[in-house]
Chains A and B, each alone.
Chain A
Amino acid sequence: MSLLTTSVGSFPKPGYLTKARAQHSRDEIPDEALRALEEQATKEWIAFQEDLGIDILVDGEQYRGDMATYFAENLEGCEVSGLVRSYGNRYYKKPVVTGELRREGPITVDWWRWAQGLTTRPLKGMLTGPYTMMDWSFNEHYASREDLALAFAKVLHQEAKDLEAAGARVIQIDEPALSTRTDELDLVVKALGAVTRGLSAKTITHTCYGDYDRVFPYFNKLPVDQIDLEMSNSGLDLLDRFRRDPLKKEIAFGVIDVHTHVVETEPQVRERIERALEFFAPDKLYVDPDCGLKTRTVEEAKEKLRVMVNATRAVREARGLR
């Protein structure tokens, strides 16, 4: 198969779910009521992706808040901080590691199993990577950043093994903080390797928004089968770098800018895919948005995905790819 389409992970939450989450945080509705609405939203996103013809699905993370605190809430040795500013008027909560990290049980597996049961197409298992978990946490327990990253890697490896045992054929381990400190890239490789060690499922790491130029020499060292990269927000600048240092892995190539309300046109996206095909073989090239779409409205996200799928289909047909 060539030019398979997929998504990076999160989708926007519909209004009814956003409202219910706020009510739940004020103890106005019980857990079961929230869960029912999270399931409803997940079903809607799975059905949308199937109807559109996306090849590898995600559950849209309708039951997760922040990608790091979701895991912090479900790990022993971890708490959640007060609000911290991200930018402008946006605030988030961070994990606070207060003791030895331990997994009380599987964190994502039940949701993955339930959501995979809704479709015959492969559904990604989604984890936040150990380096990112470390970098985005306050550390009140471990002696060093490396110790903490490897402690996260240990519990995430257990989670990945459980996902695999449940039947996950594709496991994505997000590392958006990968490019934060380029002097720690060896640690990223080590920690990610401790998660993917011994897995037979296809492994992917997604990263975005960083100094790719300095990170570039590490792409081939990352112990995963596929690298998922934001490409469109930076005007495909990175492509030339691939001419000098060819990627030896599969690539999921971001063709949709997730940070703009403007929906790309089909010719724009076709051109991005055609540019990517100058560098990557069609069977190694996956097409997806730059990043999770959760910051867009539901309608914007759907339109962007529709354009992405139509453009990919058009390129496949024009080139006689199957």
Chain B
Amino acid sequence: MVSTTVVGSYPRIGDAPEEQALRRAIAKFDEGVLTEKELRKIERSVVREVIQEQRAAGIALPTDGQVTWYDSQSHFARHLSGVEVDGLVRYFDTNTYYRQPVVGGPVRWREPSVADEWRYASSVAEGPLKAVVTGPYTLASLAKADGRPKPELVGEFADAIAKEVRALRGAGANRIQVDEPAITRNPQDVALLSQSLETIASEKGKAWLCLFTFFGDVAGILDDLTALPVDNLGLDLVQGDRTWKALAGQGSRVPLTLGVIDARNTRRDDPGRIAKAAVALKGKVPLGESYVSPSNGLEFLPRGKAREKLRLVADTAKLLEAGL
């Protein structure tokens, strides 16, 4: 049966005053009038709210919305040895910024980055919850690491993320997604990505493992990606719409997460048109075991629009299921 999921991030505040609790709390924490314990309590209430919002819209496999992440790079770098966190750098072609990790020594896993957060989120999720980690290739690509050969660096980040996956399994996570947007910009590095995924897969045990690529297409490396030791491959089919054609030609042996709802634009997507395009992949892709999702994390949209996009994901999945 076609299911529904999200890619990871979700707007942590909305426009209504009652949806801005976290923004106010962080400002008060920065001013020194709120303790860290009080801030974490509010953060957790937003995590709960975000999960409920996804479920209410019809998302079968939600995430914690990455509500506690400063950004997708420094959230991991802060918990690794050999890496410092530096100034703001633009995140791909978005108008958002991340704090750049700077590699000063061998990169080693020191403590969990997301496993503890996942444990809490799962306890309030009332159903399955996907854990998300940033992949080693993207971490290495967006870090500053003067003079370090990239294969060596990706290898060290892969060992560290593999340990995070082990920690997630220890926390009970059985659905884990690895985000690798950077490979859409450097598809020639797919061999590096493959090696790092093998390292991570060696720690996945019985957990379901998904690789998600976004912010571009992977048409030229689709065969390489579908051969990886993963249980699901997530694809951005909006900004990476060239991948549609590759899918129609080559197909995929692994089930997919079809990132078909535009998470970068407020324009209303057409579920009927999208479902029709997806149905055309019947026989080429195991659609019955696949998911429908937004094209990337939803935090690039205002909260109201993100909610609308979740409903469009659910509508598209229903139409796709009906078309099979």
Interface set of A (CB-CB < 8 Å, partner B): 81-89, 91, 94, 96, 135-136, 138-140, 177, 180-181, 209-210, 259
Indicate with 1 or 0, residue by residue over B60-96, a CB within 8 angstroms of chain A CB atoms: 0000000000110000000000000001111001011
- State which of B13, B87, B97, B305 has its C-beta within 8 Å of the C-beta of A91: B13
Given contacts A83-B11, A84-B300, A209-B90, 12 further A-B contacts (CB under 8 A): A81-B302, A82-B303, A82-B304, A83-B14, A84-B299, A85-B11, A85-B12, A136-B95, A138-B265, A138-B267, A140-B266, A180-B93
**CB-based contact B267/A87 at 8 Å:** no
Q: How far is the CB of A72 from chain B (nearest CB, A)?
A: 13
CB-contacts of B1-28 with A (<8 A): 11-15, 23, 26-27
Say yes or no for B30: interface residue by CB 8 A criterion: yes
Q: What CA separation (Å) do A181 and B184 show in the bound complex?
A: 13
**CB-based contact A181/B93 at 8 Å:** yes
- State which of B90, B303, B304 has its C-beta within 8 Å of the C-beta of A210: B90
Q: How far is the CB of A22 from chain B (nearest CB, A)?
A: 14
Look across to chain A and name the residue whose beta carbon is closest to the beta carbon of B30.
A89
Look across to chain B and name the residue whose beta carbon is closest to the beta carbon of A138.
B266
Q: What CA separation (Å) do A177 and B95 show in the bound complex?
A: 8
Say yes or no for B301: interface residue by CB 8 A criterion: yes
**CB-based contact A84/B11 at 8 Å:** yes
**CB-based contact B93/A87 at 8 Å:** no
B14 cross-chain contacts in A, Cβ below 8 A:
82-83
- State which of B27, B88, B301 has its C-beta within 8 Å of the C-beta of A89: B27
Q: What CA separation (Å) do A139 and B266 show in the bound complex?
A: 7
A139 cross-chain contacts in B, Cβ below 8 A:
265, 267
**CB-based contact B96/A87 at 8 Å:** yes
Interface set of B (CB-CB < 8 Å, partner A): 11-15, 23, 26-27, 30, 70-71, 87-90, 93, 95-98, 265-268, 299-305
Look across to chain A and name the residue whose beta carbon is closest to the beta carbon of B9.
A85
Q: What CA separation (Å) do A88 and B96 show in the bound complex?
A: 10
Look across to chain A and name the residue whose beta carbon is closest to the beta carbon of B303.
A82
**CB-based contact B13/A83 at 8 Å:** yes
B303 cross-chain contacts in A, Cβ below 8 A:
82-83
A82 cross-chain contacts in B, Cβ below 8 A:
14-15, 302-305
Look across to chain B and name the residue whose beta carbon is closest to the beta carbon of A184.
B93
Q: What CA separation (Å) do A86 and B303 show in the bound complex?
A: 14
**CB-based contact A87/B98 at 8 Å:** yes
B265 cross-chain contacts in A, Cβ below 8 A:
138-140
8 smallest A-B Cβ distances: which pairs? A82-B302, A87-B97, A138-B266, A82-B15, A140-B267, A89-B26, A180-B93, A181-B93
Q: What CA separation (Å) do A91 and B97 show in the bound complex?
A: 12
Q: What CA separation (Å) do A199 and B169 show in the bound complex?
A: 64
- State which of A81, A85, A135 has its C-beta within 8 Å of the C-beta of B299: A85
Q: How far is the CB of A77 from chain B (nearest CB, A)?
A: 14
Look across to chain A and name the residue whose beta carbon is closest to the beta carbon of B11.
A85
With contacts A84-B301, A180-B90 known, is A135 near B95, CB below 8 A?
A: yes
Q: How far is the CB of A172 from chain B (nearest CB, A)?
A: 20
**CB-based contact B23/A91 at 8 Å:** yes
B13 cross-chain contacts in A, Cβ below 8 A:
83, 85, 91
A181 cross-chain contacts in B, Cβ below 8 A:
93
Q: What CA separation (Å) do A209 and B94 show in the bound complex?
A: 13
Q: What CA separation (Å) do A261 and B164 show in the bound complex?
A: 36
B26 cross-chain contacts in A, Cβ below 8 A:
88-89
Q: How far is the CB of B270 from chain A (nearest CB, A)?
A: 13
A86 cross-chain contacts in B, Cβ below 8 A:
95-97
Q: What CA separation (Å) do A87 and B305 show in the bound complex?
A: 19
B89 cross-chain contacts in A, Cβ below 8 A:
209
A180 cross-chain contacts in B, Cβ below 8 A:
90, 93, 95
Look across to chain B and name the residue whose beta carbon is closest to the beta carbon of A210.
B90
Look across to chain A and name the residue whose beta carbon is closest to the beta carbon of B97.
A87
Q: What CA separation (Å) do A116 and B140 show in the bound complex?
A: 50
With contacts A139-B265, A140-B265 known, is A88 near B70, CB below 8 A?
A: yes
**CB-based contact A89/B23 at 8 Å:** yes
* 9 A-B interface contacts by CB (under 8 A): A81-B266, A81-B305, A82-B15, A84-B11, A84-B299, A96-B266, A138-B266, A138-B267, A140-B268
Q: What CA separation (Å) do A86 and B89 show in the bound complex?
A: 11
B70 cross-chain contacts in A, Cβ below 8 A:
87-88
A138 cross-chain contacts in B, Cβ below 8 A:
265-267
A96 cross-chain contacts in B, Cβ below 8 A:
266
Q: How far is the CB of A232 from chain B (nearest CB, A)?
A: 13
Q: What CA separation (Å) do A86 and B26 show in the bound complex?
A: 15
Look across to chain B and name the residue whose beta carbon is closest to the beta carbon of A93.
B302
